[in-house]
Chains A and B, each alone.
Chain A
Amino acid sequence: MAREKRHFVCVICPIGCEVDVIHDGSRIISMEGNKCKKSEEFVRQELIEPMRILTTTLRIQGARWPVIPVRTDKSVPKRLFPDIMKKLRRIDLQSPVGMLDVVVKDIAGTGANIIATRTMTHE
């Protein structure tokens, strides 16, 4: 593959470094604009497969609220978001659920679990 120049905004932290990278499909030739190592890793990963934490809610029964906030316990491929959301729509939890409890294992074959991001006890 010929050399390609790409521009990224790092989303790891609120600084949002603007990174210019030149790569040839198999290796990175140059990178500038990143203020830290994390930003470099982010761009490296963006070139291969953009990964993100997915945050959403699940239905829950017998709790104070009808839904409970959850997230993936690690980054998952961004392109799988619609698929994951579709699978999560069928799920109904029962209270009580504790913060960081695993509520769905290995979602959509990603190896990531869905974990609760708050405690929700009975009404």
Chain B
Amino acid sequence: MEADVAVIGSGPAGLTAAIHAHRAGAKNILLIEREEELGGILKQCIHNGFGLEQFKQDYTGPEYAERLITELEKTDVQIHLNTLVTDISSERVITAVSPEHGVLEIRAKSIVLAMGCRERARGSIGIPGTRPAGIFTAGVAQRFVNIDGYLPGKDVVILGSGDIGLIMARRLTLEGAKVKGVYEIMDYPGGLKRNIVQCLNDFDIPLHLSHTVTEIRGKERVEGVVVSKVDDKLHPIKGSEQSIKCDTLLLSVGLIPENELSKKAGVKLSTATTGPVTTETMGSSVSGIFSCGNVSTVFDLVDYVAQTGVTAGANAAEYALGGLRNGGKSVEVVPGENVRLLFPQRYSFKDDLILFIRAAEPIEKPVIIEVSPPEFKIKRPYARPNEMLRVKVPKGKLTDVAKSIKVSIRES
């Protein structure tokens, strides 16, 4: 099978990329999805707050997905559901399997990686104790409740204050479970402030910062957990242990970009974001392979995900049509003072540079974001690690840049 543009994954990034590849003039576009429906994780995110920026509408996840799907269905993009990509070569040959077609081989002129991310689980944070039933990642619990119609437990403790954990605290409370508390190891919350307010405060669910779960109890089913306070090195403080009865522990302890396929394709990954190293075109280190959304780096908002999808889709189309070539001049974009995460990692002088920046330490007063060269400065009212900053540096200001571009956040 041949394709001009093949998009892998049909969440917000992949749907947007496919639509924009079509708009940019690509003809033979394939959208490959491993599940039985389009939409990715949006389908289980039944809460509102999606698309405020992009569509100026307060959509729920399924509404946002259906709007994109309706748009996609007006195009001639070919959709392959129940199709799992098992391999991508650096020559852009995709191997996939599906019950309908068996093994498929697709030769694509360009590829957009939009596989999203997965949740960190118990194994990656190493909680001691027994291994009973009743321990779920927040996203798995969300799927059980919102799609499969099961309540995963009645007395719930949540470890980690990521957005999905906060959303699930509210959701489980509405469905009649008792959420006993959210415990966060850091001294600031992981999720957006508005979610602390509307998911925890609205329902009198306590948030305990600088706390973690140090033991899980129970044989067949979770019977309780032990939580401890942590010191400034995040080590549990002896004597601060507190035992809490519960039948369920939800983990909301971070997301990891899912890049097994990217690795197979030989795409260079960033050690900071763990996603592909890309330029402002979303082009990776492998010619003709682009990436967007949470496979690149974990974004806070679907609007940001979609924005990278627009860019990746349009540039993948341009590449397939012969108008864009990777490997030209590009410079590195490097994190400076108080920057923990920076995306994209390179600039190739084609478009405006839209930077997504995560601060290392919170600064609760006005800050200046400095992009140097070209000594471009922009003010923001604050910088918080849990709220990504987005800065647009116009192309015109960057033409004379010869070496790397450094991005810093300073108190103003």
Partners in one complex: yes
- Closest residue of chain B to A53 (Cβ to Cβ) is B48
Chain A contact patch, size range: 20 to 34
Interface positions, chain A 70-114, Cβ under 8 Å from B, are: 71, 78, 81, 85, 99-100
| Chain A proximity of B77: nearest CB distance (Å) | 19
**B46 A11 Cβ-Cβ under 8 A:** no
CB of B46 within 8 A of CB of A55, answer yes
Residue of B at shortest CB range from A59? B149
Q: Which of A13, A64, A69, A119 lies in contact with B146, CB distance below 8 A?
A: A69
Residue pair B146, A78 in contact (C-beta under 8 Å): no
**Is A117 on the interface with B (CB-CB < 8 A)?**
yes
Given contact pairs A13-B52, A78-B202, A118-B66, A71 touches B194 in the complex (Cβ within 8 A)? no
**Given A13, A50, A67, which contacts B147 in the complex, CB threshold below 8 Å?**
A67
Closest to A118 in B: B62
Hey, what's the 0/1 contact readout for B137-153 against A, CB within 8 Å counting as 1? 00000000111110000
CA distance A67 to B44 in the complex (A): 11
**Cβ of B197 and Cβ of A81 under 8 Å apart?**
no
- Which of B52, B148, B194, B197: most chain A Cβ within 10 A? B194
Given contacts A9-B194, A14-B301, A57-B46, contact A66 B149 (CB under 8 A): yes
Contact code string B35-62 (vs A, CB < 8 Å = 1, else 0): 0110000010011110010000010111
A54 to B173, CA, bound (A): 13
How many of chain B's residues have a CB under 8 angstroms from any CB in A? Answer: 34
Check A9–B301 contact: CB distance below 8 A.
Answer: no
* B46 proximity list for chain A (CB < 8 A): 55-57, 69, 71, 117
A69 to B171 Cα, complex, angstroms: 12
Give the CA-CA distance A57 to B62 in the complex, in Å.
Answer: 12
CB < 8 Å: which of B47, B65, B202 contacts A55? Answer: B47
Q: Would you call A62 an interface residue if the criterion is a C-beta within 8 Å of the partner chain's C-beta atoms? A: no
Chain B: CB-nearest residue to A13: B52
Are A99 and B63 touching (Cβ within 8 A)? yes
Q: Which residues of B contact A64 (CB under 8 A)?
A: 36-37
Provide the bound-state CA to CA distance between A9 and B149, in Å.
32
- Minimum CB–CB distance from B4 to chain A (whole Å) comes to 29
Q: B198 an interface residue at 8 Å Cβ cutoff?
A: yes
Contacts A57-B146, A65-B149, A71-B48 given; does A16 touch B62 at CB 8 Å: no
Produce 1/0 per residue, A7-19, CB < 8 A to B: 0011101101010
Instruction: Decide: A67 near B66, CB < 8 A? Known: A16-B197, A56-B174.
Output: no
- Contact of B241 with A by CB under 8 A: no
* Chain A positions within 8 Å of B145 at CB level: 57
A57 to B145, CA, bound (A): 8
A116 to B36, CA, bound (A): 20
**Inter-chain contacts of A56 with B (CB < 8 A):** 46, 171, 174-175
Verify if B350 is at the interface (C-beta below 8 Å from A).
Answer: no
Contact A117 B63 (CB under 8 A): yes
Residues of A within 8 Å of B49, CB to CB, are: 14
Q: Check: B192 CB closer than 8 A to any chain A CB.
A: yes
Tell me whether A81 and B174 are in contact in the complex, defined as CB-CB below 8 angstroms, given that A67-B147, A71-B48 are known contacts.
yes
Q: Are B192 and A14 in contact (CB under 8 A)?
A: yes
When distances are taken between beta carbons in the complex, the residues of chain A under 8 Å from B176 are 85
Residue ID in chain B nearest A56 by CB atoms: B174
Distance to closest chain B CB from A74 (angstroms): 11
Q: Is A44 among interface residues, defined by CB-CB distance under 8 A? A: no
**Taking the complex as formed, is A23 at the interface, i.e. its CB lies under 8 A from any CB of chain B?**
no
Q: Indicate if the CB atoms of B202 and A9 lie closer than 8 Å.
A: no
Which residue in chain A gives the minimum CB-CB distance to B62? A118
CA gap between A83 and B395 in the complex, in Å? 55
The reply to whether B194 and A14 contact each other, CB–CB distance below 8 Å, is: yes
Expressed in whole angstroms, the minimum distance between the Cβ of B192 and any Cβ of chain A is 6
Task: Please give, as numbers and ranges, the residues of chain B lying within 8 Å of A67 by CB-CB distance.
Answer: 146-149
Set B47, B147, B192: member contacting A16, Cβ < 8 A: B192
Report the bound CA distance from A18 to B365 in whole Å. 13
Q: Is the CB of B62 within 8 A of A117?
A: yes
Q: Given contacts A56-B46, A118-B63, is CB(A16)–CB(B174) below 8 Å? A: no
Sample of 20 further A-B pairs with CB below 8 A, known A16-B192, A53-B48, A55-B60: A10-B194, A18-B193, A50-B202, A55-B47, A56-B46, A64-B36, A64-B37, A65-B148, A66-B149, A67-B147, A67-B149, A71-B60, A85-B174, A85-B176, A99-B63, A99-B66, A117-B46, A117-B60, A117-B62, A118-B43
* Sample of 27 A–B contacts (CB below 8 Å): A9-B193, A9-B196, A11-B194, A14-B49, A14-B194, A16-B194, A18-B193, A53-B48, A54-B174, A55-B47, A56-B46, A57-B145, A64-B36, A65-B147, A65-B149, A67-B147, A67-B149, A69-B46, A69-B61, A69-B146, A81-B174, A85-B176, A99-B63, A99-B66, A100-B63, A118-B62, A118-B66
List 8 tightest A-B contacts by C-beta distance, closest first. A118-B62, A69-B46, A67-B149, A16-B193, A66-B149, A16-B194, A9-B197, A11-B194
